[in-house]
């Protein structure tokens, strides 16, 4: 799950309007190449150059196709595409966050990809990641990059506190945090108040915000409440950092971790390159990565994020055919290897984890925890359920609201987002 990127200038907005042309993005002449438009939502500074280079490679190998590349800020792309598709003028290809994929598929904006060139290598992709690209039994995206949350820690600080391995349970984490504070004189753990980062506490109790099979909102159920009680308990105590509910909380936590001011956090692989920029991880091998601790159900689980490449259903046949060829190229083992090597992101297919890719300890570490990642349910509204959590959990964390009142508010808010579910 990438964090939002700053808003673009007016010129970028005008560029989007000019390139959001879907099936009308013609070649200029009947016998010329087919020109498709791709909206990429990757970080414009750290990641986009890799994708631009791959576009050039694709064009060199496919003379009949040209690609108009547009980098769209992640935090704007969902609404922009929704508006453009509703007006029948969306780009031919979208880098779609996994949570957007079923939502846009439900609206009929994405082309089903089963049996097409885009999914020619379907057997190479991780099954759980393909599941996240599905809606109503059909596949609407090809997984490009993936991510999950892991317990990341400073090995040197843990060693100074006499700790030789990552905690397996949340209870062990509390004990480790106290030991770190006592012996290493820094906080042992800094928890996030954001809803996405609370998911492991629900999974650890064998539950979730909703039960799709029974169409029920489960956030107020006993297992979920137990998980949130554990979550709340990690904001106070020896070695546990107090809740940060400021607008810059994410940056504060990240800065403290990469510079050795806190020993551990829960974080995703999108921060791998930034970890290495901090003083604590000049030696990359000092970065410890482990599966998130387990809850009382004896199970550890973390949410799965990432991005798919999807094709606009409103494009004409020629542009769809060119787009399918483009998807196959961009998600090939060779392309994914190149993306991983340049951007330190996780591939979605097993054959892209080459020795060169896994030589990065960050990627190798996150690859090992992917087995604990939980695919999102095939529910278009699922990602929107984190919105109420982002509103209520900070108030619960810093004591402005009781957990009981917070859960009640979450139950009511989530029920409105999935009105056909029972409570």
Backbone phi and psi for residue 144, each to the nearest 5 degrees, phi listed first: -105, -50
Q: Quick check: 27 pLDDT over 70? A: no
Biggest alpha carbon distance in the chain? 74
* pTM score: 0.86
The residue written with tokens 């089903």 in the block is 112
Of 32, 117, 29, 42, nearest to 72 by C-alpha is: 42
Residue-wise pLDDT for 312-368, tens only, equals: 999 999 999 999 999 999 999 999 999 999 999 999 999 999 999 999 999 999 999
Please state, in angstroms and as integers, the Cα–Cα distance from residue 65 to each residue in 23, 35, 258, following that order: 14, 6, 43
Percent of the chain with pLDDT over 70: 93
Q: 146 Cβ partners below 8 Å, 6+ apart?
A: 126, 129, 304, 305, 306, 346, 347, 348, 370, 373
What is the pLDDT at residue 21?
Answer: 52
What is the pLDDT at residue 375?
Answer: 87
What is the pLDDT at residue 358?
Answer: 95
Local confidence band at 98 (pLDDT 50, 70, 90 cut-offs): very high
Q: Quick check: 12 pLDDT over 90? A: no
Residue-wise pLDDT for 179-190, tens only, equals: 999 999 999 999
Q: Quick check: 217 pLDDT over 70? A: yes
Q: Is 412 exposed, middle or buried (0-12, 13-18, 19+ CB in 10 A)?
A: middle
What is the pLDDT at residue 322?
Answer: 98
Q: Quick check: 5 pLDDT over 60? A: no
Q: Kindly provide the b/e burial profile for residues 68-78, where b requires at least 16 CB atoms within 10 angstroms of the residue's own CB.
A: bbbbbbbebbb
Q: Give me the chain's average pLDDT, please.
A: 92
Residue-wise pLDDT for 36-70, tens only, equals: 999 999 999 989 999 999 999 999 999 999 999 99
Strands (E), 59-107: 65-71, 93-97
Contact assessment for residue 328 and residue 117, using Cβ atoms and an 8 Å cutoff:
yes
Residue 103 in tokens: 């939502």
Contact assessment for residue 209 and residue 376, using Cβ atoms and an 8 Å cutoff:
no
d(CA 354, CA 341): 10
d(CA 389, CA 209): 10
Q: Quick check: 311 pLDDT over 80? A: yes
What is the pLDDT at residue 31?
Answer: 67
What is the pLDDT at residue 321?
Answer: 98
Q: 245 Cβ partners below 8 Å, 6+ apart?
A: 193, 394, 395, 397, 398
The rounded Cα 326 to chain-centroid distance in angstroms is 23
Of 202, 204, 200, nearest to 224 by C-alpha is: 202
Residue-wise pLDDT for 115-161, tens only, equals: 999 999 999 998 889 999 999 999 999 999 999 999 999 999 999 99
CA angle 409, 412, 413 (to 5 degrees): 85
Residue-wise pLDDT for 99-114, tens only, equals: 999 999 999 999 999 9
What domains can be seen in the chain, in order of their start residue? 10-148+305-374 (3.40.190.10), 150-303+378-417 (3.40.190.10)
What is the pLDDT at residue 30?
Answer: 55
Contact assessment for residue 98 and residue 308, using Cβ atoms and an 8 Å cutoff:
yes
């Amino acid at each position: 799950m990438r964090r939002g990127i700053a808003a673009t200038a007016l010129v970028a907005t005008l560029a989007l309007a000019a390139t959001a042309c879907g099936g009308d993005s013609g070649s200029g002449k009947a016998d010329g190449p087919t020109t498709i438009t791709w909206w990429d939502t990757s970080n414009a500074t750290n990641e986009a150059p890799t994708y631009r280079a791959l576009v050039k490679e694709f064009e060199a190998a496919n003379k009949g196709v040209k690609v108009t590349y547009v980098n769209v800020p992640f935090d704007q792309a969902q609404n922009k595409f929704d508006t453009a598709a509703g007006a029948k003028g969306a780009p031919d290809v979208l880098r779609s966050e996994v949570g957007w994929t079923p939502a846009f598929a439900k609206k009929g904006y994405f082309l089903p990809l089963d049996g097409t060139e885009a999914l020619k290598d379907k057997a190479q992709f991780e099954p759980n990641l393909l599941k996240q690209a599905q809606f109503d039994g059909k596949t609407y995206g090809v997984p490009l990059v993936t991510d999950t949350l892991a317990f990341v820690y400073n090995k040197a600080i843990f060693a100074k506190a006499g700790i030789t391995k990552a905690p397996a349970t949340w209870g062990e984490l509390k004990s480790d945090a106290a030991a770190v504070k006592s012996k290493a004189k820094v906080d042992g753990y800094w928890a996030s108040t954001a809803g996405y980062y609370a998911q492991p506490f629900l999974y650890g109790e064998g539950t979730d915000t909703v039960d799709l099979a029974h169409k029920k909102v489960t956030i107020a159920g006993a297992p979920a409440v137990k998980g949130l009680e554990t979550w709340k308990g990690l904001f106070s105590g020896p070695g546990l950092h107090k809740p940060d509910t400021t607008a810059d909380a994410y940056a504060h936590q990240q800065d403290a971790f990469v510079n050795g001011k806190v020993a551990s956090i829960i974080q995703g692989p999108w921060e791998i390159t930034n970890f290495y920029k901090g003083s604590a991880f000049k030696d990359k091998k000092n970065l410890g990565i482990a599966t998130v601790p387990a809850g009382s159900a004896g199970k550890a689980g973390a949410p799965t994020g990432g991005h798919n490449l999807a094709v606009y259903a409103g494009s004409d046949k020629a542009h769809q055919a060119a787009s399918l060829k483009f998807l196959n190229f961009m998600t090939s083992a060779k392309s994914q290897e190149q993306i991983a090597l340049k951007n330190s992101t996780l591939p979605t297919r097993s054959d892209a984890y080459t020795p060169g890719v896994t030589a990065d300890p960050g990627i190798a570490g996150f690859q090992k925890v992917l087995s604990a990642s939980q695919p999102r349910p095939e529910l278009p509204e699922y990602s929107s359920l984190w919105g109420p959590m982002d509103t209520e959990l900070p108030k619960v964390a810093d004591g402005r609201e009781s957990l009981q009142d917070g859960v009640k508010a979450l139950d009511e808010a989530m029920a409105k987002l999935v009105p056909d579910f029972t409570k």
